[in-house]
Amino acid sequence: MAEASNKPEEGSQGLYSTFDAFLKQALKEYYDRGWTTRRGNFIALLIASGTTSFAMAKDSVVSGEGTKKVALGAGLLIALRIGLKYAIGGPLGLVLTLAAGASMISYFIRNQKDIIKKVSVYKAAIADTHRRYDEIQAGWRDGKYQITDRNLMIDGLMKGFVGQVDDA
C-alpha cells in the first residue's frame, strides 16, 4: 500500500482551488440562505466582491458625485448579476432573472447609505479571508498538511466568512 504524500500533486487542486472559486461559492451559499430577507447584505457583498474586477472600468467612468454614482452603482449591479449568472451558472443563474436584478437595483437606490456602509465592512472581511485563504494554501503547498486537512480548514473558513457576512 502506497503512503499518502503531503505534497500537492500536479493538477490536484482540492476544494476551491482559487480564491475566486472560494468567493463564488461563498456568494452562492449566502444567496441560498435566502438573500430576499437579507437584500442589503447580499447587494453589499456583491459590490464588495466585484469591485476588484470592475475597478478599472469604474475609475475610468467615475469623475463626479451624486446621481452619476447612483447610476454607476445600478449599472455595476446589473453587470455583477450578469457576470454571476455566467460565472456561477446552475440554479443560481436561472434564479437571477431580470426582475430580480431590477428588484436589487431598486432596493440599492432606496437603501444606498446602509449598503455603502456594509460594503467597506465586507471589503475588509474579504481581504482578511483572502489573507487567511492564502496562508492555508501556502501551508498545503509547503507540505505542512494533507489535502483533507486543507479542505477542512477551507470549509471552516467558508463557514466563518458566510457567518461574518450574516452578522454584519
SS3 37: helix
Count CB neighbours of 86 within 10 A.
Answer: 8
**pLDDT by residue (tens digit) across 85-107?**
555 555 555 455 555 666 777 77
* Helices within the chain (DSSP H only): 19-32, 39-61, 67-88, 90-95, 98-110, 112-141, 147-167
Count CB neighbours of 120 within 10 A.
Answer: 11
Specify the residue for cell string 481581504.
Answer: 127
pTM above 0.85, yes or no: no
Using 70 as the pLDDT threshold, list the residues of the chain that sit under it. 1-14, 35-36, 51-102
Specify the residue for cell string 489573507.
Answer: 131
* pLDDT for 97: 54
Spatial separation of the C-alpha atoms in residues 23 and 3, rounded to whole Å:
33
> 66: burial class by Cβ within 10 Å (0-12, 13-18, 19+)?
exposed
* pLDDT for 114: 87
* pLDDT for 122: 92
**pLDDT by residue (tens digit) across 102-130?**
677 777 788 888 888 888 899 999 999 99
